[in-house]
A and B are shown apart, each in its own frame.
Chain A
């Protein structure tokens, strides 16, 4: 091994398990590094990460609350919509009934009118026919008396 040849009076022999002042100094160095990294790395990065975690959780809670609100409003609106639909249905039904009623009424009055007019016409016709018949009868009577007079005069 080379280090055996290089061993001199002042310089220690070295070797794998050579414990010396490197140990405490390294310990001090690691402790210093701990403090340095604490202020440069762990604290600032931790703050950012935890701030973000807080931000995310509050945002999430906020969003949940808003979602709840939206769902409540939606349910309310659905209820309103159903009411409105029912009202519309009722209005349509009512209007249809009314139209039906009006239609029937109109037909009934028209029919009654027509009947009355027909009746009147029939009665007028009857009266005229009767008049005509009586006139005709008068004329027949007149003619027959005339014929009888003529015949009597001739004979």
Chain B
């Protein structure tokens, strides 16, 4: 961005610029892995600190972890149902926690402090690879849940309530991961860009409302992704009569 004659230290915009790691002839987006490792490390550290001494009378971080667990259990139970939610709670919960930590970490940690030779650190969820990976995992989980519980009768879902629905249901299998991944990717990237542009134009105070809004949408996006994932899995497990 060399449009302006000067550049502010923390206000540069880069889009689609990646720190490439090459393993054999595979290309990896290094900045995505770096930031995701930092964030996963922080998440695991929180979990380890909180579960170090679990007690019937919770104190300190254990309260937070129990609140999270309760919240995620309610989310999974509401969407999947009392019967099967236990098996899927870790997956749904991990999706929520990873996306939430990624979104908020991307917004709250001053990543620009760390200089990379190429690209920039940021929310791992602002990279299409991450969101597509998770969306495909959700699709896999959905098929696995349905096929393992109902066998081939799982495919009856496609002709419920009438066979006319068949083409729509098949298209749906492609639109589900597409919409899941692009919703998350688009929201987080758009938020980062909006904040970036505002910081670039007016570095003080003015970006704050947008940053707060970004935090809000980030949390909502994590909730939406986890809820939809749970809903899809619940749909795959649902017994039709």
Interface of A is mostly: helix
A133 to B103, CA, bound (A): 143
Which residues of A have CB within 8 Å of B89? Answer: 42, 46
Tell me, rounded to whole Å, the shortest Cβ–Cβ distance linking A39 to chain B. Answer: 9
Question: Can you name the residue of chain B whose Cβ is closest to the Cβ of A11?
Answer: B20
Which residues of A have CB within 8 Å of B16? Answer: 1, 3, 14-16, 18
- State whether A22 touches B47 (Cβ < 8 A): no
Any chain A CB within 8 A of the CB of B197? no
Known interface pairs A15-B16, A16-B128, A24-B133. Does A49 touch B27 (Cβ–Cβ under 8 Å)?
Answer: no
Which residues of A have CB within 8 Å of B23? Answer: 21
- State whether A6 touches B134 (Cβ < 8 A): no
- State whether A49 touches B69 (Cβ < 8 A): yes
Any chain A CB within 8 A of the CB of B189? yes
- State whether A30 touches B65 (Cβ < 8 A): no
A25 to B128, CA, bound (A): 13
- State whether B48 touches A40 (Cβ < 8 A): yes
Q: Residue A18 contacts which of B18, B95, B130, B136 (CB distance < 8 angstroms)?
A: B18
Which residues of A have CB within 8 Å of B18? Answer: 12, 14, 18
- State whether A16 touches B36 (Cβ < 8 A): no
- State whether A37 touches B15 (Cβ < 8 A): no
- State whether A26 touches B36 (Cβ < 8 A): yes
Q: Report how many residues on chain A are interfacial, defined by Cβ distance under 8 Å.
A: 42
Tell me, rounded to whole Å, the shortest Cβ–Cβ distance linking B70 to chain A. Answer: 7
Any chain B CB within 8 A of the CB of A81? no
Measured as residues with beta carbon below 8 angstroms from the partner, the interface class of chain B is 35 or more
- State whether A23 touches B129 (Cβ < 8 A): yes
Any chain B CB within 8 A of the CB of A17? yes
Any chain B CB within 8 A of the CB of A144? no
Which residues of B in the span 20-48 have a Cβ within 8 Å of any Cβ on A?
A: 20, 22-23, 26-29, 32-33, 36, 40, 43-44, 47-48
Question: Can you name the residue of chain B whose Cβ is closest to the Cβ of A37?
Answer: B94
A31 to B58, CA, bound (A): 29
Any chain A CB within 8 A of the CB of B172? no
Tell me, rounded to whole Å, the shortest Cβ–Cβ distance linking B143 to chain A. Answer: 15
Question: Can you name the residue of chain A whose Cβ is closest to the Cβ of B86?
Answer: A46
Any chain B CB within 8 A of the CB of A41? yes
Which residues of A have CB within 8 Å of B191? Answer: none
Which residues of B in the span 51-80 have a Cβ within 8 Å of any Cβ on A?
A: 51, 54-56, 58, 62, 65-66, 69-70, 73
- State whether A45 touches B44 (Cβ < 8 A): no
Which residues of B have CB within 8 Å of A77? Answer: none
Question: Can you name the residue of chain B whose Cβ is closest to the Cβ of A33?
Answer: B94
> A-facing mask of B114-148, CB < 8 A → 1, else 0?
00001100001001111011101100000000000
* 23 A–B contacts, CB within 8 A, in A order: A2-B1, A3-B16, A6-B17, A14-B17, A17-B128, A20-B26, A20-B27, A22-B29, A22-B32, A22-B129, A22-B130, A26-B32, A26-B33, A26-B130, A27-B134, A27-B136, A30-B134, A37-B90, A37-B94, A40-B44, A45-B50, A48-B54, A49-B70
Shortest 3 CB-CB contacts between residues of A and residues of B: A22-B129, A21-B26, A38-B90
